[in-house]
Structure 1
Amino acid sequence: MRAAAGLPAASHVVPHAVDPAPAPAHPAGLRATARLRATHNGRATTVPLLHSDGPFHLRRLRPRGEWARVCVLGAMSAPLGGDRLALDVTAEARTRLEVTAAAATIALRGPTADPATYDVRLTVDEDASLRWLPQPLISTRGSTVHQTYRVELTAGSRLLLREEQLLGRTAEPPGHLSTRLTVRRDGRPILDQHTVYGAPAPAWDGPAVLGDHRATGQFLLVGPGLDAPPAAVLLGDPVRGHCVLAPLADGPALLATAVAPTSARLRRLLDAALARVSGAEIRPGVRPGTPR
């Protein structure tokens, strides 16, 4: 029985490729897809489609200015081994949409050692803005999760996407976590990144990857008007964690990647990197993920 709960390597960039078809769900696993669609009615952004499913309960929040806001709440423990979970979010033309989460997502082994899949699909249409600001994904001992982000943008789309991972709870080794982020702009790939952490991945905790750090994450900022730094910017130090802010080759886009000993320190590094970006209309007025 699933208990009620809250939501939330080696690293390399790989050429764009078509992902293989997902494996079928284990008989003990859960298959669920939640859907969210925002549209503009000529005056403001509205959310006519809000379909909750499985562990995902989608709740409208009070709008803030021109931004419609939705929070993802956890209705049960997930992902567990064998689960096939998906979130499908579309921001139609001219909309302003922010999606947050109430709590971290905790990946657990569950009744089977089969991997769980967690697929997030984000579509941002012309002159639309999406802030995707979830809480961390926590990889616990014995869990196996394959997480994918598939993002489709147009030339006039604006996106702020943040993802964070915490490898193990206090004094606990992590499970096996792989994440893939694929971003296409006007049909052209601008980022295709694959990271893998936890045994049996080789060297994920070596000095060239995480070392002693157990929190890792990044934000991606895409959109017209970005004032990108001419070269990569390094923040932090070896003990308290590092963050690198760098422009992508096929912009306008910026990627900040950080590693840190704790999730709180990771968030501070990402916040500091975001504060260095000017000309970003999509940047929140408060720290990303902070309750409002």
Structure 2
Amino acid sequence: MTASGVRATARIVARDDGRGGTSLPVLEGDGPLALRRTRGTGSEARVMLVGAMSGPLGGDHFTVEAGVEAGARLRLGSAAATIALPGQAKGEARYDVRLTVADGGELHWLPEQLISAHGSELYVTTRADLAATARLVLREEQVLGRAGEEPGRLSSRLVLRVGGRTVLDQELSCGPGAPGGWDGPAVLGGHRAVGQVIVVRPEFVDEPVAARVLGEGAAVVPLAGPAALVTAVAPDALRLRRVLEEAMTSLG
């Protein structure tokens, strides 16, 4: 911890163990980012991110780095929601997620919701860099404010690269001080929960996903290459999760 906040990094490397399973030669977390291996299924290893402290608070900088090597399979989630809170240190908090998946590897990044509490300021970046035949399921859910409170300032950027090509680079800012219109009909439309799912599968090259509406406030669109994006808004976290789970099931 420094005068400007807490610095913490969690690192995971998943590797094909040559026996039909996945080993974890690197599983390191410090400060508020503790990692626990849980029971996997088949060739898939499972890891849970356990928050050991409150946060991120103002001035904190958290980083999660997960690398999946060729032929390995990893499912990475979190034990509870992440709550961005105001802190004593000045400045915004940062939460960076860095994901890499090699050819033939598969990663499921499925954290619980990120909640932007009143008075907080958080900038989140998620970058996924995949080889041409890698697989990915990525879910992000953001909730603006706890029950009965106004949100903090939340900015998030999501970048996806497949085979060295950028197929998605999107950014959203919400809350006090965000560019005008973020709560208007063209963006959130008064909703307080927003989320997205990215699914990357090599099969989508020959059989691309068709763009379609998935009910009120949700849609799926194909991305360049073997990828599809689901975006959704909802009045609350429970309904957002339901919509995104249904979308993930429909995409296989």
Q: Secondary structure at the match of 1:254?
A: strand
* 1:63, distance to aligned residue in structure 2 (A): 1.3
Q: Does 1:156 align with 2:149?
A: no
Moved more, 153-162 or 266-275: 266-275
* 1:151, distance to aligned residue in structure 2 (A): 1.1
* 1:190, distance to aligned residue in structure 2 (A): 0.9
Q: Does 1:128 align with 2:91?
A: no
Asked whether the equivalents of residues 182 and 189 of structure 1 are also in contact (C-alpha less than 8 Å), the reply is: yes
* 1:100, distance to aligned residue in structure 2 (A): 0.8
Show the counterpart of 2:12: 36
Q: Secondary structure at the match of 2:214?
A: strand
Structure holding more strand per residue: 2
Asked whether the equivalents of residues 80 and 116 of structure 1 are also in contact (C-alpha less than 8 Å), the reply is: yes
Q: Report the number of matched residues.
A: 248
Q: Distance in 2 between matches of 1:28 and 1:222?
A: 38
How many percent identity over aligned positions? Answer: 50
Q: Distance in 1 between matches of 2:247 and 2:160?
A: 21
Q: How does 1:74-113 map to 2 (within 5 A)?
A: 74-113=51-90
Show the counterpart of 1:247: 222
Gaps of 5+ in 2: none
Show the counterpart of 2:212: 233
Q: Secondary structure at the match of 2:170?
A: strand
Q: Distance in 1 between matches of 2:215 and 2:129?
A: 32
Q: Does 1:267 align with 2:246?
A: no
Match of 1:209 among 176, 182, 187: 187
Q: How does 1:14-33 map to 2 (within 5 A)?
A: 27-33=3-9
* 1:187, distance to aligned residue in structure 2 (A): 1.5
Match of 1:193 among 156, 170, 181: 170
Q: Distance in 2 between matches of 1:256 and 1:183?
A: 14
Show the counterpart of 1:66: 43
Q: Secondary structure at the match of 2:203?
A: coil
Q: Distance in 2 between matches of 1:150 and 1:210?
A: 23
* 1:171, distance to aligned residue in structure 2 (A): 1.0
Q: Distance in 2 between matches of 1:26 and 1:72?
A: 23
Q: Distance in 1 between matches of 2:244 and 2:67?
A: 25
1:46-101 Cα deviation digits (max 9, x unpaired): 11111011211100001112110000001001100001110111001100100011
Structure 2 CA distance for partners of 1:171 and 1:113, relative to 1, 3 Å:
farther
TM-score (norm 2): 0.95
* 1:28, distance to aligned residue in structure 2 (A): 3.9
Q: Distance in 2 between matches of 1:183 and 1:277?
A: 18
Q: Secondary structure at the match of 1:273?
A: helix
TM-score (norm 1): 0.82
Asked whether the equivalents of residues 113 and 144 of structure 1 are also in contact (C-alpha less than 8 Å), the reply is: no
Q: 2:150 corresponds to which letter in structure 1?
A: P
Q: Secondary structure at the match of 1:225?
A: helix
Q: Distance in 1 between matches of 2:119 and 2:5?
A: 16
Q: Does 1:224 align with 2:202?
A: yes
* 1:26, distance to aligned residue in structure 2 (A): 6.6
Gaps of 5+ in 1: 1-24, 279-292
Q: 2:117 corresponds to which letter in structure 1?
A: T
Q: Distance in 2 between matches of 1:172 and 1:121?
A: 31
Q: Secondary structure at the match of 1:114?
A: coil
Q: How does 1:165-184 map to 2 (within 5 A)?
A: 165-184=142-161
Asked whether the equivalents of residues 243 and 273 of structure 1 are also in contact (C-alpha less than 8 Å), the reply is: no
C-alpha RMSD of matched pairs (Å): 1.3
Q: Distance in 2 between matches of 1:120 and 1:53?
A: 15
1:252-280 Cα deviation digits (max 9, x unpaired): 100000000011100111122222224xx
